[in-house]
Amino acid sequence: MPPRLLLGPGPSNAHPRVLSALGMAQVGHLDPTFITLMNEVQTLLRYAWQTDNQLTIPVSGTGSAAMEATVANGIEQGDKILIGINGYFGHRLVDMASRYGAEIATIEKAWGEVFTLDELREKLAEVRPKILALVHAETSTGARQPLEGVAQLCREYDCLLLVDTVTSLGGVPLFVDEWGIDLCYSGTQKALSCPPGLSPLTFSERAREMVANRSSKVGNWYLDMSLVGKYWGSERTYHHTAPINMNYGLREALRLIAEEGLAERWQRHQENAELFWDGLAEMGIDCHVAKEHRLPTLTTVKIPSGVDGKAVVGALRDDFNIEIAGGLGELGGKVWRVGLMGYNSRPENVARLLDAMRRVMKR
């Protein structure tokens, strides 16, 4: 495989220590040594998410699996869910929720914009949902949805707060407990710098109670957290066979976060993103998202007029071994998506990308 520098929307390159951990010889998934590792993974995940939630685990699938787990466990036939759509992943939540019989309401914004508390309040008052779902870090737009104050609204209107943190966990300030998030998921292949294959998930006590009091079985066996929680909890009841080597990798990735420190890591992501944005400005290239709502992990870069966006992506890949991506949906053909996540968020990568972009566009 070619030595690509993965600066697209994900996966990012895994840290070398993570790649080494992946290849360690296996033990059984019910081995006492693996059970110790499962505990360690959970403890480290709680730190990364800044939560004390007991149910904090990696789901045995890629990011979309944990995403579906929040919906499948949260929704019973006819339950109302209010979904914020300001990018691709809001639409995906709608599709998923529809499969579990949810009554769906949406609040929409242009791709790249975010919702204000007033807008959310108005819609909550109108819809009165059981769950409000928002995307903290929209991988399709590069926008960061502010979450301060949203949980207070949710308490006021008696609903649970579901949040997508796929492109924020480990790279962007995120406080699950302080922000009152009830159902939360992420992926391993973004700012955690672990290959795809697991998807972190955390449920608040309120969410766990809601699942425990469901009147129907969760509509999905593989993602039924009443069963999965017992496999990862003190009961250790056999459910499925956890991806052992992927968990070796994830533990290493989470140890790297603990070693660096979350605040330092967030700061590093912010600094390298700003370095990139400054470099773009020098080239006269704009970003799609207003600076105050821009994610440090994922930047949507406006393709300058007259430039063939697809050709640039291809040339960066084929001639410079750098992966970036084009836009999705509404932003297709309009932006490039550039990720500076986890291990890849380094000044030398910013310099290498800016230099390659300059060369390619000069041709």
Which positions lie near its own copies, rule CB under 8 A?
1-4, 6, 8, 10-11, 13-14, 19-20, 22-31, 33-34, 37, 60-65, 68, 92, 95-96, 98-100, 187, 189, 195-197, 217-223, 238-246, 248-249, 317, 323, 325, 328
CB of 126 to its own copies, least distance (A): 27
Q: 7 or 174, CB closer to its own copies?
A: 7
CB of 131 to its own copies, least distance (A): 16
| CB 353, min distance to its own copies, A | 15
CA 241 to centroid of chain Cα atoms: 24
Q: How far is the CB of 65 from its own copies (least distance, A)?
A: 5
Q: Say how far apart CA 130 and CA 57 lie, in whole Å.
A: 24
Closer Cβ to its own copies, 31 or 156, answer by number: 31
Give 115 or 185: the residue with its C-beta nearer to its own copies. Answer: 185
- Whichever of 227 and 283 has its CB closer to its own copies, that residue is 227
Nearer to its own copies, 8 or 129 (CB): 8
Query: Do 199 and 64 form a contact (C-beta atoms < 8 A)?
Result: yes
CB of 335 to its own copies, least distance (A): 16
Residue number with CB closer to its own copies (115 or 248)? 248
CA 124 → CA 36, 85, 130, 161, 177, distances in Å? 43, 14, 10, 12, 21
**CB 176 to its own copies: min, Å:** 23
Handedness of CA 252, 260, 161, 288 (dihedral sign): negative
Q: Among all chains, which residue has been given the structure tokens 């955390």?
A: 202
Residue with tokens 């949902």: 129
Tokens of 123: 């819609």
CA-wise closest residue to 174 among 345, 48, 341: 48
Closest CA to 326 of 340, 311, 336, 312: 336
**Residue 7 to residues 15, 250, 353, Cα–Cα distance (Å):** 14, 20, 8
Q: Give the burial class of 1: count Cβ atoms within 10 A of its Cβ; 0-12 exposed, 13-18 middle, 19 or more buried.
A: exposed
User: What is the nearest approach in angstroms of its own copies to the Cβ of residue 321?
Assistant: 9
112 or 339, CB closer to its own copies? 339
Q: What is the DSSP string of 65-77?
A: HHHHHHHHHH--T
Q: How many CB atoms lie within 10 A of CB 230?
A: 15
> Between helices 225-232 and 205-212, what is the axis angle to 10°?
120
How near is the Cβ of 206 to its own copies at its closest, in Å?
A: 24
| 103-108 and 80-85 strand pairing | parallel
DSSP string, 128-192: --SEEEEESB-TTT-BB---TTHHHHHHHTT-EEEEE-TTTTTTS---TTTTT-SEEE--SSSTT
For the CB of residue 220, give the shortest distance to its own copies in the complex, in Å.
6
Residue 121 or 346: the one with the smaller Cβ distance to its own copies is 346
Give the DSSP letter string of 117-144: HHHHHHHHHHH--SEEEEESB-TTT-BB
Our CB check for its own copies shows the closer of 170 and 187 to be: 187
